[in-house]
Amino acid sequence: MSVEPQSNPLSRRQFVARAAAAGVAVSVAGSVEALFASQPALGTSGPKIGYGPLIPDPDGMLDLPRGFKYKILSREGTVRSDGLQVPSRFDGMGAFADRDGGSRLVRNHECSPTATIPVKAPADRTYDPAAAGGTSTLVVDRHNHTTSEFVSLGGSAINCSGGPSPWRTWLTCEETELKAGQSGYTKDHGFIFEVDPYDNRRNVDPTPLTAMGRFQHEAVAIDPHTGIVYETEDAFVAPLGSFYRFLPNRPRGGWGSLRAGGELQAIRVPGLPDLSVVQEAGPTFGGVEWVKVPDPLATTESVRAQDYGKQITGGYKIEGAWWGARDRCAYFVSSFARTELGPAQDHDGQVWKYDPRQATLRLEVIFTRPAPGSDNPEYDAPDNITMSPYGGLMMCEDGLGDQHMLGTTEDGQVFKFAKNRVNNGTPEAPEYGELAGVGFSADGRTMFFNIYNPGITYAITGPWRRRR
């Protein structure tokens, strides 16, 4: 989005570790104002102490603070106008402005062949008939009524997250490395696909953006000035995943421009092979290099495991990514790290900033784990994250037990904004009640997000400017 927010800078003192009630300690260096730069310019700062206690929902769906309301835009299993059911596993989602003041939502379905309701698309919008993932497009009017819902991409696999392009399309990412012949697939998977929210005729003949790499993609962020695409890799099996950039042959962008190819490169920070070893916010690492990926298609070896001739920098579960419009920097998230899974150190989340003009990488935010022997945290595993146009972060919880949408106040405290009452996570299926795909409408009046399973898409409205 091109409009910059006007939220006040948050200093280290303001955004300090004051989330003890949430079981999360937050360490932040300097100003995090740039984190809010990709959202609409509404409001001036976050709420003082949150939006107040959650009011139990008599319908048992979603608890919200006083004055806020939800509307269900879509539910898994609902029969659409084309006679097919809405598919399962709602995950990442992009919100785009529509001409009548409404929104167009492109929603990922992280479906494998075992999904309860796989994505079914017409043959001309299906990449691999044996695959069950894809995207749905929702047309929502300015009153948050869903006026149309249809499949815009079928035959892809494990569509997790992605990101919007400057030319208002959605890049949906496959979080898998399975090839043709595995799991019954007839084509290789692990690619990025481009989806047009406005003209479904452009979504025929789905074309994987092969030059952008075949790996466990999570999210993308695009520099609108150079056309460079930054990509994250949610690798949870050794070796560690990495952070990549794609130099397109057609940097001016536009629909289909990424099909023209380009060069994929992996990040190398001299002296920093593993991001998890940085345990305090603030350090800036200079001399960042980019190393050409030898085989973007991962013909014989995963992209992260190939011989680069020098050590590239890796991280565990590198997930969210976004572009800071104000400071022209790329941000990305390592959602957590555990030594027993391969990283050198533990943490509960890092937010990194890459400055392309200075060739530096800086740790802006770290969520540190509770001290050994302390009580289990009330909240755990923040996952999808967005910058509120009213200041602060909005974080989707993806853990065990009750699942919440969490916010941060202007002085860094964590508060509950919403509670999923439909279901809870369990040790057997910890993703069951996960929240995902959070984002705001172009005018900032509506927050959209998903419940992963069973799939529900919500629109939330209310007194966003309220100060308590």
Q: What pLDDT sits at residue 324?
A: 80
Those residues whose C-beta lies under 8 Å from the C-beta of residue 320, and which sit 6 or more positions away, are 161, 218, 219, 232, 331, 332, 333, 335, 384, 385
Q: What pLDDT sits at residue 299?
A: 97
Q: What pLDDT sits at residue 40?
A: 37
Q: What pLDDT sits at residue 18?
A: 31
Q: What pLDDT sits at residue 23?
A: 43
| b/e burial code for range 279-317 (CB count within 10 A of at least 16 → b) | eebeeebeebebbebeebbbeeebbbebebeeebbbbbb
For 376: left if phi > 0, alpha if psi spans -120 to 50, otherwise beta; the answer is beta
In one letter, which amino acid is 209? Answer: L
For the CA atoms of 450, 455, 461, 462, what is the dihedral angle to 10 degrees?
Answer: -90
DSSP 193: E
Domain boundaries, the chain: 1-88+383-468
What does pLDDT average to in each consecutive run of 10 residues of the chain (468 residues)? Answer: 28 31 46 44 54 94 96 96 94 94 97 94 97 98 96 98 96 97 97 98 98 97 96 92 98 97 98 95 94 98 97 94 84 89 90 94 78 52 74 74 79 81 62 83 95 95 80
Q: What pLDDT sits at residue 389?
A: 82
Tokens of 101: 């003041």
pTM for this entry:
0.89
